[in-house]
């Protein structure tokens, strides 16, 4: 069951899906059968299948990297970076982006039906970042892509890129890691835990068994998203964007309405997220991130993880990113240096905080274009 | 109805309460009658009533600054700084600390009974930091204290100290403001809003009318506290304290338990908070903080707020505090300089983040002792 090489579909995704022929052996010890992968592709795979670029998405992202989102109708989340003539040039590269395992946009996750035709819910196994990559390796097998020209990802996408390079070192030439870490810091685990607790505190969560009940833990998921969203922005960008400006009113109401623009904005971010994301997926994906530590099988020695790697690496951080700050990227750069791997590392100046990798940062475009080639 | 000057009660608070004889005219335009103030005092007021020091507490603090907490049984929250021979020396000063208006440890707040003998709940008026100070000025009147030797506060306590200096300039000689701001920044408003949304998303909140129903929005309040607690610590201190260490287990469970110490710690912080704090009070107090902007009646010119002040000021910030960072204190220092007020400003190096003002920072002790005198 090999998928044929598809052609660029422009703004309108093809909504491709496939089922992995082999069961997935997961890090947690369980085996997941009949894993479905939803993915998008752009550009054309060349004759020797050497021009494939895997783009890995972040926590709440999806496969619609450069296609209109089927629910929100918005352009792809990285359409500024992926497309004809763009930094990841689909005129020359065959770009693949798959919805991660555990998510909710078509790839198997907690909302998917198990073999008893009921949703997995919390019967879905807790997964790791490596399990997400494992599923994508299965997809590449199906697409006949033995070796990637490049893997590129920001945030959780960068962690997948690192995991791919670490555990499937023969399958990628160039590894681009943006605003990520090799081991989740305690503060980030803490924020992730707050999000999970917000969801699980919502009575509509019902122990995860809310599918088909007509109720979902939207309130809890919205709070989780609001808290996370603050961490994606810099203090400076929030100040610039909102300051203490009031929302559609001349003075404070002395009530619990959203007086300030920043309150209104956050409420909107929370509420709109619930329309496109599954709360259980949020639990599984954030747990995979909390678990992420590339060094745990190497006694904490990151250089050992990459010993003997043949890949080239490019690391990018942003000076305003306090969620995955520059020191996290620097640790990876030092380890790769120690492992003798070719690595370039740049801290870019951009005001938007962690979200800078998704926003208008022309210097990032140049770095991506230069590295992916 | 003047309270007599009480004596130092050591670790065991006197649980003093009084009712203000005059109604409080609030910033929101409403009038609050029969306002009760719960407070503690330490030391003895001298004959000319010139040795009084008002200590103002932070968001989730209370009047038990140096007395054992009646619910938790723990020592007072600032017993390291207030007491005989301590930086705020109760052998020489008469220290007053009152539970703020809107709180839940005895001072009138949303859980208090209104004139219809039912709890105010959301009928309680939305208050400001200045309203909190207003209530404390009423208490000082009762205690016969016309002019304070000093007012001292950290975090929201520092905002009260600033408000007192700005709006009752004749009532205080020395003003000590630790880890605070003169106008709540957007990012902090955002975190405060997440906390409020977490509470209001809890069905047990019931529009605020949960008193006497046997159910309280504990789950929402716990999530609010967890999110806030992260902001009180520095990334560095979380890393030092918890890192990625597991909680009472040898390996990850691949479940949604608290695998990591930091998760377990946060859950404990959230759960224990619900035993001593009222969720509606949390709404009112965080809203007052979000509203806080000393400059709003002066067109944004902070120097004008303090024009002609006769007080001396001391500002302290901590280098690891990302919630009320040094730049916020520096703005106040510049404004006071511009207003011609005597001001000293020091950024202390301490690893604990915002919570440094409550923790073991000997340099802070020296600064307090030196300034309060």
Nearest CA in chain A to B325: A235
Is residue B1 over pLDDT 70? no
Instruction: Give residue for tokens 């020396």.
Output: B89
Is residue A303 within 8 angstroms of chain B, CB to CB?
A: no
Q: In the structure, what pLDDT confidence band is assigned to residue B195 with cuts at 50, 70 and 90?
A: very high
**Strands of chain B, DSSP E:** 16-19, 24-25, 31-32, 36-42, 52-56, 82-83, 88-89, 94-98, 148-154, 172-178, 312-318, 343-348
The answer to whether the CB of A313 falls within 8 A of the CB of A146 is no
Q: Which of A120, A228, A254, A292 is the best substitution to test chain B (most B C-beta atoms within 10 A)?
A: A254
Is residue B14 over pLDDT 90? no
Residue B321: its chain A contacts at CB < 8 A?
Answer: none
Torsions phi, psi for A291 (to 5 deg): -70, -20
Total Cβ atoms within 10 A of residue A183: 18
Torsions phi, psi for B106 (to 5 deg): 125, -30
| Chain-chain contact of A227 with B222 (C-beta, under 8 angstroms) | no
Instruction: Identify which of B189, B197, B238 has the shortest CB distance to residue A267.
Output: B197
| Chain-chain contact of B187 with A230 (C-beta, under 8 angstroms) | yes
Two tokens, residue B230: 């992260």
Across chain B, mean pLDDT equals 95
Smallest CA-to-CA distance from A131 within A282, A249, A27, A223 is with A27
The answer to whether the CB of A133 falls within 8 A of the CB of A160 is yes
Question: What's the count of helices (H) and strands (E) in chain A, helices before strands?
Answer: 10, 12
Is residue B198 within 8 angstroms of chain A, CB to CB?
A: yes
| Chain-chain contact of B201 with A183 (C-beta, under 8 angstroms) | no
Torsions phi, psi for B132 (to 5 deg): -60, -45
For residue range A108-137, what is the model confidence (pLDDT) as tens digits? 999 999 999 999 999 999 999 999 999 999
| Chain-chain contact of A190 with B220 (C-beta, under 8 angstroms) | no
How far apart CA A325 and CA A234 sit, in angstroms, is 11
Average pLDDT over residues B43-65: 97
Is residue A3 over pLDDT 90? no
pLDDT at A310: 94
Q: In the structure, what pLDDT confidence band is assigned to residue B8 with cuts at 50, 70 and 90?
A: very low
Average pLDDT over residues B285-306: 96
How far apart CA B154 and CA B56 sit, in angstroms, is 8
Is residue B184 within 8 angstroms of chain A, CB to CB?
A: yes
Is residue A198 within 8 angstroms of chain B, CB to CB?
A: yes
The answer to whether the CB of A133 falls within 8 A of the CB of A161 is no
Is residue A246 within 8 angstroms of chain B, CB to CB?
A: no
Angle formed at CA B186 by CA B163 and CA A262, multiple of 5 degrees: 125
pLDDT at B83: 96
> Which residues, 6+ apart, have CB-to-CB distance to B240 below 8 Å?
B351
| Chain-chain contact of B230 with A198 (C-beta, under 8 angstroms) | no
Two tokens, residue A307: 């010993």
Nearest CA in chain B to A125: B254
The answer to whether the CB of B268 falls within 8 A of the CB of B260 is no
Is residue B4 over pLDDT 50? no
Residue A189: its chain B contacts at CB < 8 A?
Answer: 244, 260, 262-263
Choosing from A57, A103, A354, A356, the catalytic residue is A354
Across chain A, mean pLDDT equals 95
Active site residue A321: yes
What domains are defined for chain A?
Answer: 16-185+294-372 (3.40.50.1820), 188-286 (1.10.1740.110)
Active site residue A117: no
Average pLDDT over residues A318-330: 98
CA of B361, closest CA in chain A: separation in Å? 22
How far apart CA B75 and CA B72 sit, in angstroms, is 9
| Chain-chain contact of A266 with B194 (C-beta, under 8 angstroms) | yes
Total Cβ atoms within 10 A of residue A36: 17
Residue B209: its chain A contacts at CB < 8 A?
Answer: none
Is residue A130 within 8 angstroms of chain B, CB to CB?
A: no
Is residue B2 over pLDDT 70? no
Average pLDDT over residues B176-184: 98
The answer to whether the CB of B256 falls within 8 A of the CB of A200 is yes
How far apart CA A53 and CA A164 sit, in angstroms, is 13
- pTM of structure: 0.95
- Give the CA count within 13 Å in the CB-facing half-sphere of B328: 31
Two tokens, residue A327: 């020191």
Angle formed at CA A287 by CA A285 and CA A293, multiple of 5 degrees: 105
> Which residues, 6+ apart, have CB-to-CB distance to B365 below 8 Å?
B80, B81, B86, B87
Question: What's the count of helices (H) and strands (E) in chain B, helices before strands?
Answer: 10, 12
Choosing from B89, B131, B278, B321, the catalytic residue is B321
Kindly give the residue spans of alpha helices, DSSP state H, lying in chain A. 129-143, 156-167, 186-200, 218-232, 235-241, 261-274, 279-291, 302-305, 326-338, 362-372
Is residue A190 within 8 angstroms of chain B, CB to CB?
A: yes
Active site residue B218: no
Residue B235: its chain A contacts at CB < 8 A?
Answer: 185-187, 322
% of chain A residues with pLDDT over 90: 95
Adjacent-strand bridge partners of B56: B153
How far apart CA B334 and CA B338 sit, in angstroms, is 6
Two tokens, residue B63: 């009047």
The answer to whether the CB of B227 falls within 8 A of the CB of A227 is yes
The answer to whether the CB of B171 falls within 8 A of the CB of B137 is yes
pLDDT at B15: 85
% of chain B residues with pLDDT over 90: 95
| C-alpha dist (Å) from residue B337 to A89, B147, B181 | 56, 23, 16
Q: In the structure, what pLDDT confidence band is assigned to residue B12 with cuts at 50, 70 and 90?
A: low
| C-alpha dist (Å) from residue B8 to A177, B39, B66 | 61, 13, 10
How far apart CA B164 and CA B129 sit, in angstroms, is 9
């Amino acid at each position: 069951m090999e998928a044929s090489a598809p052609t660029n579909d422009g703004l309108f995704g093809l909504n491709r899906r496939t089922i992995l022929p082999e069961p997935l052996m997961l890090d947690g010890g369980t085996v997941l059968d009949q894993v479905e992968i939803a993915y998008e592709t752009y550009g054309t795979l060349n004759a020797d299948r050497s021009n494939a670029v895997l783009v890995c998405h972040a926590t709440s992202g999806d496969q619609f990297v450069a296609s209109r989102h089927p629910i929100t109708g918005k352009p792809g989340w990285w359409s500024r970076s992926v497309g004809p003539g763009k930094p990841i040039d689909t005129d020359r590269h065959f770009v693949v982006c798959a919805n991660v395992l555990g998510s909710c946009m078509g790839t198997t996750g907690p909302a998917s039906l198990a073999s008893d035709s009921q949703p997995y819910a919390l019967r879905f196994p807790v997964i790791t970042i490596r399990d997400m990559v494992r599923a994508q390796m299965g997809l590449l097998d199906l697409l006949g892509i033995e070796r990637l020209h490049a893997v590129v990802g920001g945030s959780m996408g960068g962690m997948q890129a690192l995991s791919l390079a670490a555990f499937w070192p023969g399958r990628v030439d160039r590894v681009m890691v943006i605003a990520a870490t090799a081991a989740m810091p305690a503060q980030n685990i803490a924020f992730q835990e707050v999000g999970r607790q917000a969801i699980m505190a919502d009575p509509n969560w019902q122990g995860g068994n809310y599918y088909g009940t007509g109720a979902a833990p939207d309130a809890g998921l919205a709070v989780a998203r609001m808290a996370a969203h603050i961490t994606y922005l810099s203090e400076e960008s929030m100040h610039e964007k909102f300051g203490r400006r009031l929302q559609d009113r001349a003075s404070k109401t002395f009530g619990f309405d959203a007086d300030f623009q920043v309150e209104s904005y956050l409420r909107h971010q929370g509420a709109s997220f619930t329309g496109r994301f599954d709360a259980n997926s949020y639990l599984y994906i954030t747990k995979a991130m909390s678990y992420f530590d590339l060094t745990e099988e190497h006694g904490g020695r990151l250089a050992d993880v990459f010993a003997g790697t043949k890949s080239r690496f490019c690391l990018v951080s942003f000076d305003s990113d306090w969620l995955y700050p520059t020191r996290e990227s620097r640790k990876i750069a030092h380890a790769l240096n120690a492992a003798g791997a070719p690595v370039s590392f740049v801290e870019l100046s951009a005001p938007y905080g962690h979200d800078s990798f998704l926003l208008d940062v022309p210097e990032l475009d140049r770095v991506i274009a230069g590295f992916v080639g």
